[in-house]
Chains A and B, each alone.
Chain A
């Protein structure tokens, strides 16, 4: 390092000699490094990363540390306010470049699909089980409520539909099969922007209110499922309904389960933060949950494709069950069985 300072060209040496103040000699000796750093940082800020030579990229961290240490020294030895302001600005810009995100969108997506997502899902741990229990509970409660008093059906599912208590077997059957006249596109779009897809987003968002609204939302929505099961069961169409639901439902319900689990995860971290401050605990849980939720959005798109096209093309309960079961098995295997190289899967 010292050798480099003395290795400057003759004119610079003369300028250093001429400078009256020790702090100016300090400045003149390092100015070349600062200016090189500034050039590199300006290129990076302009997005011209490809024009940077490997040499410059490798030099960036060392030059950044030079600037940071120059700043620390200048603060103690120099009263040149403009110099300190410049060094602060330069160090800040270099800090953004050195400590910015290390990978682009493509690299992150690759890591996300190859382990990051499933690790985040596994990181939810017991909260997934809580969400699952709530969804099962909701279904059972829905069934029991409606079987006790069919009026409950209207408050759970609404009444502007053919699927109401007392509907004939044919009417119900028609809702499950023979809808080939509908275009897949409109169903696909309708699903994506439907309430159902937003339920999962809400289940996550409401986690910030200590998770209780997430739980209520899960129970409320699966209660409708229980009521629907009861209705079709009354006409001996349980298996057909399950097949109809499962083709996209295993993916959709799984997504809702993950979203609910993510919401409960945040809520639980806030209610029981352990040793960490509440905000820190909530932030750590929130970052993991956000990863899960990016995946949930992708799962919902997947469910939309299955609902829009799979369900109208496949009109047989057996095949529907097979597709739904396969999807479920795939998701389970992807999240819990398949564990690629440890370490890179940061949650």
Chain B
């Protein structure tokens, strides 16, 4: 375990404190990255801007439609009044409908979260229930909307409501600072719903490095064949293999020349310049074959020191 941790720390520069392991219901650990607080704030602001824009657009549409068919919202016109009532109710519920519609839909995230690449997930690795999504979105009202209304009404009331104003501010701060007081960046709604917000990245499957011509040991440039013996392969471990993999995937000629030089020095070879890629591919494949054979027998070599 200590070895594993050491390897991870060295693979990713700087300790990545947002990494979490979740055990899926199938019993396989899956790595997740907790969404950054800044990204979550950005997602919320994007959503609110979109909500306000959608509300304004909807209002304009309803108003112009009503104008077009000559409906006025005065007390002698029940149709107009009913229309206004329905409109007020929709506006009153609009933000809830927005969040629930998108988070319960197939995309599983609001437009704001999609733009910054976040998703809501169940903390225990199991199913994300509808009830959990409802709970975390309802509590947002208590965390943000309610204190905002409270503060703005006390501000409108004037000076003599300073205590209520302070209470509202304290309330607001408690909930806004809540995500900074736990390491999973949970807000109160997440705690209640049993959820957290994680990054939803996507990777493409990169080509295997060990299946090309160079990997077979043949060099297309020099027509030679690279074969490494047990002694030459046993100097490196899994960490060096993965560094080598990264260098090969980056495909930077200078870096490859440096690495090839370092390997040659280490194993006591002298190698001409210009054919580094074929050399490295061959070494990578044979080193991987050796280490994977060891893995199958339960022998792992973390790095060159072990």
User: Whole-angstrom distance between the alpha carbons of A308 and B200 in the complex?
Assistant: 46
CB of B70 to closest CB in A, whole Å: 18
Using A79-B241, A86-B204 as known contacts, say yes or no to A102 and B106 having CB atoms under 8 A apart: no
Q: Assess whether A137 is interfacial by the CB under 8 Å rule.
A: no
Contact of A184 among B31, B81, B146, B215 (CB under 8 A): B81
Most B-side CB within 10 Å, residue of A44, A88, A195 = A88
Residues of B with C-beta under 8 A to A27: 208
Q: Is B133 a contact of A101 with CB atoms below 8 Å?
A: yes
Residues of A293-336 at the interface with B, using a CB-CB cut-off of 8 Å, are: 293-294, 297, 301, 305, 308
Q: Assess whether B291 is interfacial by the CB under 8 Å rule.
A: yes
User: Whole-angstrom distance between the alpha carbons of A50 and B42 in the complex?
Assistant: 31
Q: Is A96 a contact of B242 with CB atoms below 8 Å?
A: no
CB of B23 to closest CB in A, whole Å: 11
Residues of B with C-beta under 8 A to A105: 97, 100-101, 104-105
Q: Assess whether A15 is interfacial by the CB under 8 Å rule.
A: yes
Give 1 or 0 for each of A12-28: 1 = CB within 8 Å of chain B CB: 00010011111110011
Q: Is B131 a contact of A287 with CB atoms below 8 Å?
A: yes
Q: Is B89 a contact of A102 with CB atoms below 8 Å?
A: no
User: Whole-angstrom distance between the alpha carbons of A28 and B211 in the complex?
Assistant: 10
Q: Is B211 a contact of A185 with CB atoms below 8 Å?
A: no
Q: Assess whether A344 is interfacial by the CB under 8 Å rule.
A: no
Most A-side CB within 10 Å, residue of B25, B135, B191 = B135
Contact of A283 among B92, B194, B202, B291 (CB under 8 A): B194
Q: Assess whether A147 is interfacial by the CB under 8 Å rule.
A: no
Contact of A91 among B28, B105, B209, B211 (CB under 8 A): B28
- B interface residues, tally (CB under 8 Å): 80
Using A82-B245, A101-B133 as known contacts, say yes or no to A185 and B104 having CB atoms under 8 A apart: no
Most B-side CB within 10 Å, residue of A15, A23, A34, A105 = A105
Give 1 or 0 for each of B192-206: 1 = CB within 8 Å of chain A CB: 111000001111111
Q: Is A79 a contact of B242 with CB atoms below 8 Å?
A: yes
Residues of B with C-beta under 8 A to A185: 73, 75, 81, 84-85
Using A19-B210, A77-B292, A82-B249 as known contacts, say yes or no to A68 and B28 having CB atoms under 8 A apart: yes
Q: Is B295 a contact of A34 with CB atoms below 8 Å?
A: no
Q: Assess whether B52 is interfacial by the CB under 8 Å rule.
A: no
Contact of A99 among B25, B97, B133, B245 (CB under 8 A): B25
CB of B139 to closest CB in A, whole Å: 7
Q: Is A47 a contact of B208 with CB atoms below 8 Å?
A: no
Q: Is B100 a contact of A21 with CB atoms below 8 Å?
A: no
B residues with CB within 8 A of A: 24-26, 28, 30-32, 73-75, 81, 84-85, 88-89, 92-93, 96-97, 100-101, 103-108, 119, 121-122, 125-135, 138-139, 141-142, 146, 149-150, 153, 188, 191-194, 200-206, 208-211, 215-216, 238, 241-242, 245-246, 249, 285, 288-289, 291-292, 295-296
**Minimum-distance CB pairs A-B, first 9:** A286-B192, A290-B135, A89-B203, A205-B142, A82-B206, A49-B106, A290-B138, A86-B205, A287-B135
List, sorted by A's number, 27 A–B pairs whose CB atoms are closer than 8 Å. A20-B210, A27-B208, A35-B205, A45-B107, A65-B26, A78-B292, A79-B241, A79-B242, A80-B210, A89-B202, A90-B203, A91-B28, A92-B200, A93-B200, A93-B202, A99-B127, A102-B130, A105-B105, A108-B130, A185-B84, A189-B88, A192-B88, A286-B192, A287-B193, A287-B194, A301-B92, A305-B85
